A and B are shown apart, each in its own frame.
Chain A
């Protein structure tokens, strides 16, 4: 399975990069928008200044015209004797106004025009500056006279000469000033037009730039998305791979599980074979010994019968010789017979022949008992639950285990009355054989000094109480380590060397008892011995009556 982490990291950085780019684009966009705004604000500021200048210039022009007109009226008044005060006042007011406007346009100044405060700034291009400078210069040249006249007007002592002088100055410069004013205003409006053009250009270019940025952003996003798609595709492929791997692993696990089940079946089979092998090994000995002496006895009998036959024959010859009155050979024949009788007697052959015959019959009885027991033990002909005497089951198992037990332990039986239970006897036999065998094997190897072997004890007790059969199998062997006690019923737990125990014996015992709706308990003290207690119901409930298959004995 491949490691998904690197692609995650990669993806994260990619996402970060994407967001970074987005921020850059956003900043660019904001920058453009802001710069356009700044530019526009700047331009509109300038436009306002322009407007103020134009307004100021109009005032200037009007003030000039009004001043000239008022001065002409005042002169006419002087000559005609008409009141001239208002005309002079209008003149001085207008002339002051003109002067203020001119100074403001030339040098910049805060002006009050028609109750409106206007901040007039000097023009920022050369042509208008020159024009206004020309006006300013003209105004400056007549400034002193103007002030004197205005002063005299204020005092009420008007000097007609000064008026004449002023008028002449005004008339002389009137055209020029008006021209300049006109030109100034035309120039200003031209500038305004230019500014409008600039504004439009800037707005259009900003729009175009924004559009470009947007396009760039789009392109970049597409690329990013494509990259993202690619990553997702890769990730999907990886996922698919992983899924394939998982599927393969699942297959492997299933195979392993199958193998495990096979192994378990084999192990159960091998436990069966081990039990069978144990049985066979025991039986072989149990059979071989009587078979051995029976065979030997038959040979002895044959030999002895030969001798008897010979004796009989010689006897018959003796009788014949007696009957025939053949006395010559009679004595020799008598000796011959006597010799044979001596021979028979010295070995006590007749008694021994009978003994060997009886021995052989005993041996044959033992053999037939064995065969019967074997049949009882395996119960091959019984597939369903039987009502069986448990004591007999234990006896059968004891006989099968005899070869193992007899060198190691004495059996003390304490059987109760009417110990019948509905059960699968072949399986219970397996339980008893297993427990008895274990008990025998738990006996320490007997080292004896005198003639009597030190045997252990296996006590087997059966009782019936409250519809339950209680069976206890107790040994005084080595006992079980408390740490191992928990595990003894677990499959594959064994204390025997590798190859000797399958570790399934007690696990199968447990399952068999469980299937019989019974209980099994174990108590053990190291060095003192172990006791297994089994309780079985006398009647099986319906579902347990079906045959128990070995295959479900180990889960």
Chain B
């Protein structure tokens, strides 16, 4: 079986060489030290690129710009960012523009990188499976054009849960969204949990500061319990580490700071609903519940011997495959 194709982009050749060496046992690694060249690789449809990992700061183009372009060309390819800077601006860009799956800091841990790639490939395969079934659906619908938009009809049942906003702020967002969605405001995590159990919530828009409990931890737990919920952070508190956690552990859809344009906000919520619908349509795969623990274990990495063992095992697997061949 052919190894999955991946692309790594970094202006530092030594990084490329190292990452490539690390991954080449499991993947066919394409690499480029120039984002423009990388774009031509992305456009090349001879390979099915499953994962792209880019550096953020490169001459000529930012990583998040490259990933945005990549999304246009290959929407299902999983995007990762590997960066030596953890300045807030790049983080916000990476989530809001690049829509990345993971934000990985330099210096990286080999095990983390391997795990993230495995997970990313798994996610990609699931997305593609979904996509092909969708295509099938679509072709069916083409034959029946009258029923093309059944989702719009049941618009009333779509629920947005807003957590931690003052009544005044909520009233504003409510007026923006009420024409299409059922918007609910809660002030505490307990209320949020109650509503999640009662209602079919698809999108959460959350503030960060909700009193004593760490909102992020709460949202991550929610994500595990309700994997189809898509989360948008809309908060003035911006913190680099927090944002990185929101991306990597919560898979936050957008990380926004007010003020935000009403139309933009509405269209973002629309997009979040589409994303949630995608998740719902593949309930058999409990993606986020499982990969969370994988990443966590890779993050902890206390026993290096096990890393080594797994590395060896990976190598041995390859050997045994060859042998079997």
Give the number of residues in A that approach B within 8 Å (Cβ atoms): 41
Interface string of B63-98 (1 = CB under 8 A from A): 000000000000000000000110100000000000
Find out whether the CB atom of A296 lies under 8 angstroms from the CB atom of B84: no
Query: In the assembled complex, how far is the CB of residue B124 from the closest CB belonging to chain A, in whole angstroms?
Result: 23
Q: Is B15 positioned at the interface, with any CB of A under 8 Å from its CB?
A: yes
Q: Chain A residues near B25 (CB, 8 Å)?
A: 347
A293 to chain B: closest residue by CB: B18
Find out whether the CB atom of B21 lies under 8 angstroms from the CB atom of A356: yes
Q: Which of these, A299, A406, A453, contacts B110 with CB under 8 Å?
A: A299
Interface string of A415-455 (1 = CB under 8 A from B): 00000000000000000000000000000001010111101
Alpha-carbon distance A306/B318, docked complex (angstroms): 14
Q: Chain A residues near B24 (CB, 8 Å)?
A: 347
Q: Which of these, B60, B84, B106, B315, contacts A453 with CB under 8 Å?
A: B60
Alpha-carbon distance A407/B57, docked complex (angstroms): 8
Q: Chain B residues near A96 (CB, 8 Å)?
A: none
A403 to chain B: closest residue by CB: B57
Alpha-carbon distance A406/B58, docked complex (angstroms): 9
Q: Chain B residues near A452 (CB, 8 Å)?
A: 60
Q: Is B224 positioned at the interface, with any CB of A under 8 Å from its CB?
A: no
Find out whether the CB atom of A285 lies under 8 angstroms from the CB atom of B84: yes
Q: Which of these, B58, B84, B315, contacts A288 with CB under 8 Å?
A: B84
Find out whether the CB atom of A300 lies under 8 angstroms from the CB atom of B22: yes
Alpha-carbon distance A343/B111, docked complex (angstroms): 22
Among residues 277 to 308 in chain A, which have CB atoms less than 8 Å away from a CB atom of chain B? 281, 284-285, 288-297, 299-300, 302-303, 306-307
Alpha-carbon distance A270/B130, docked complex (angstroms): 53
Give the number of residues in B that approach A within 8 Å (Cβ atoms): 39
Query: In the assembled complex, how far is the CB of residue B247 from the closest CB belonging to chain A, in whole angstroms?
Result: 18
Q: Which of these, B19, B58, B308, B318, contacts A343 with CB under 8 Å?
A: B318
Find out whether the CB atom of B315 lies under 8 angstroms from the CB atom of A296: no
Q: Chain A residues near B59 (CB, 8 Å)?
A: 406-407, 446, 453, 455
Among residues 301 to 325 in chain B, which have CB atoms less than 8 Å away from a CB atom of chain A? 307-308, 311-312, 315-316, 318-319, 322-323
B58 to chain A: closest residue by CB: A407
A288-B84, A339-B319, A343-B319 known; A448+B308 contact, CB < 8 A:
no
A293-B14, A296-B22, A453-B59 known; A302+B85 contact, CB < 8 A:
no
A285-B85, A407-B57 known; A300+B319 contact, CB < 8 A:
no
Alpha-carbon distance A288/B58, docked complex (angstroms): 15
Q: Chain B residues near A356 (CB, 8 Å)?
A: 17-18, 21
Q: Which of these, A290, A300, A306, A340, contacts B14 with CB under 8 Å?
A: A290
Interface string of B93-109 (1 = CB under 8 A from A): 00000000000011111
Alpha-carbon distance A363/B18, docked complex (angstroms): 12
Find out whether the CB atom of A450 lies under 8 angstroms from the CB atom of B21: no
**How many residue-residue contacts, CB under 8 A, span A and B?**
114
Q: Which of these, B15, B21, B322, contacts A292 with CB under 8 Å?
A: B15
Alpha-carbon distance A297/B12, docked complex (angstroms): 14
Main secondary structure of the interface of B (DSSP, over half): helix
Q: Which of these, A285, A300, A406, A446, contacts B18 with CB under 8 Å?
A: A300
Find out whether the CB atom of A288 lies under 8 angstroms from the CB atom of B107: yes
Alpha-carbon distance A446/B323, docked complex (angstroms): 52
Q: Chain B residues near A352 (CB, 8 Å)?
A: 21
Interface string of B200-212 (1 = CB under 8 A from A): 0000000000000
Q: Is B178 positioned at the interface, with any CB of A under 8 Å from its CB?
A: no
Interface centre among A289, A306, A455 (most CB of B within 10 A): A289
Among residues 76 to 97 in chain A, which have CB atoms less than 8 Å away from a CB atom of chain B? none
Q: Chain B residues near A340 (CB, 8 Å)?
A: 319
Alpha-carbon distance A347/B315, docked complex (angstroms): 12
Find out whether the CB atom of A303 lies under 8 angstroms from the CB atom of B319: no
Q: Chain A residues near B111 (CB, 8 Å)?
A: 299
Q: Chain A residues near B58 (CB, 8 Å)?
A: 407
Query: In the assembled complex, how far is the CB of residue A519 from the closest CB belonging to chain B, in whole angstroms?
Result: 35
Find out whether the CB atom of A342 lies under 8 angstroms from the CB atom of B308: no
Alpha-carbon distance A455/B87, docked complex (angstroms): 23
Interface string of B4-40 (1 = CB under 8 A from A): 0000000010110111011011000000001011000
B315 to chain A: closest residue by CB: A307
Q: Which of these, B14, B22, B307, contacts A362 with CB under 8 Å?
A: B14
Q: Chain A residues near B105 (CB, 8 Å)?
A: 288
Q: Chain B residues near A342 (CB, 8 Å)?
A: 322
Q: Which of these, B36, B106, B319, contacts A451 with CB under 8 Å?
A: B36
A285-B84, A296-B110 known; A306+B312 contact, CB < 8 A:
yes
A342 to chain B: closest residue by CB: B322
Query: In the assembled complex, how far is the CB of residue A239 from the closest CB belonging to chain B, in whole angstroms?
Result: 54
Q: Is B199 positioned at the interface, with any CB of A under 8 Å from its CB?
A: no
Q: Which of these, B15, B36, B87, B108, contacts A281 with CB under 8 Å?
A: B87
Q: Is A152 positioned at the interface, with any CB of B under 8 Å from its CB?
A: no
Q: Chain B residues near A296 (CB, 8 Å)?
A: 15, 18-19, 21-22, 107-108, 110, 113
Q: Is B61 positioned at the interface, with any CB of A under 8 Å from its CB?
A: yes
A359-B14, A359-B18, A452-B60 known; A302+B322 contact, CB < 8 A:
no
Beyond known contacts A291-B106, A299-B111, A300-B110: 11 more, CB 8 A cutoff: A289-B106, A293-B15, A294-B107, A296-B18, A300-B22, A302-B308, A306-B315, A352-B21, A356-B18, A359-B14, A453-B61
Residues of B within 8 A of A (CB): 12, 14-15, 17-19, 21-22, 24-25, 34, 36-37, 57-61, 84-85, 87, 105-111, 113, 307-308, 311-312, 315-316, 318-319, 322-323
Task: Give 16 pairs: A residue, B residue, CB < 8 Å, sorted on A.
Answer: A281-B87, A290-B14, A291-B107, A292-B18, A292-B106, A292-B108, A293-B15, A295-B109, A296-B107, A300-B18, A300-B110, A343-B318, A406-B59, A446-B59, A448-B60, A453-B61
